[in-house]
Amino acid sequence: MLIDGISRQSIESNDNYKVKIIDQTLLPHELKYITLNSFSDCCKAIKDMWVRGAPLIGVTASYGMFFAAYENPSKRNLNEAFKKLIATRPTAVDLKWALENIIKLIENAPTKEKADLIWDFASKLEKESIEQCSRIGDYGLEIIESHIKNDKTINILTHCNAGWLACVDWGTALAPIYKAYNKGIDVHVWVDETRPRSQGAALTAWELSKHGVNNTLIVDNAGGHLMQNSKVDMCIVGSDRTTSSGDVCNKIGTYMKALCAYDNNIPFYVALPESTIDFNLTSGVNKIEIEERAQEEVTLVRGINELGKISNVKITPNFVKSHNPGFDVTPARLVTKLITDKGICRASRDGIRKLFK
């Protein structure tokens, strides 16, 4: 998408086996590109959230497997690399999906060919992610157009960041919004700040603004009030893992927004590529491993200080403990429809099976 009129991707590779990413932990205050040169670089990028978002994690992990094979193509090393990458962000299913496909791909390949095979897989996945997200945008655009009333502004609420920064380009939840904006539709986005890491404030508001999309940042607890007072026409969020029955695991706080939408009869859509669907898992509640993140993410806030430097500020006494689950699960009954790269379907076992049969 666009940054000040220039087209960018969240991850870029070239024929010289170079992989470049945006360090998203510095946004929105600094736009810094980092070159990944090793397996350990890729692990750190995922674990420390230089990159985040299920599709982007899958692509980055694939390049990580390339570096692992380039450094040591033995079966033992690649199996260890697989385990280490899985452990970096255990909730996102795209990561596991990509790595399992790589293991199958190189299972019987000559040792000297493994690295090149993995590179080809990763670069293809990078391109396919863009195409998938563009199709999600096209299907989601149809839904947005169906909700427009009397040529008025359509107000969409989103949670966390499921834009191009979370994918390679376009995004999932934001792809329909970009398509609508590019078509000239008057769209306005309510952006949840998404504590504790503030992906909405730091990333979603930033990327929407850079592209020119009208948006307003809100605190996480304001969504219900806005819905109750007819300020929201629809909600669109992304997903880190969706079960075969339509339960949606996404950034913590998604479940609360779905409940508010349900209570106020507001459509709640989830946008995701096929790779985010875990066809081997039927129920999400209490079945998906929920990543527990550091207490410091809750007790510290990050921003620009009076000297213009990025710094952390303590907002609690030192003796205060915190609990920091990274994700929650929204039951399928609260989801209006799933918007995928293959089309739109009900968030149910039958709906998903018919679309992806």
Q: Is 175 helix (H, G, I), strand (E, B) or coil?
A: helix
Residue 286: which residues within 8 A CB-CB, separation 6 or more? none
Structure tokens of 91? 């909730």
Per the listing, tokens 């709906």 go with: 351
* Residue 188: Cβ-neighbour burial (10 angstroms; 0-12, 13-18, 19+): middle
The answer to whether 13 touches 175, Cβ cutoff 8 Å, is no
The DSSP annotation for 206-253 comes to HHHHHHT-EEEEE-GGGHHHHHHTT--SEEEE--SEEETT--EEEETT
Overall residue count recorded for the chain in this entry? 357
Catalytic residue from among 169, 240, 328, 341: 240
Structure tokens of 12? 């870029």
* Cα separation, 307 vs 325, whole angstroms: 33
* Cα separation, 295 vs 292, whole angstroms: 9
240 in catalytic set: yes
Q: Which residues are catalytic?
A: 240
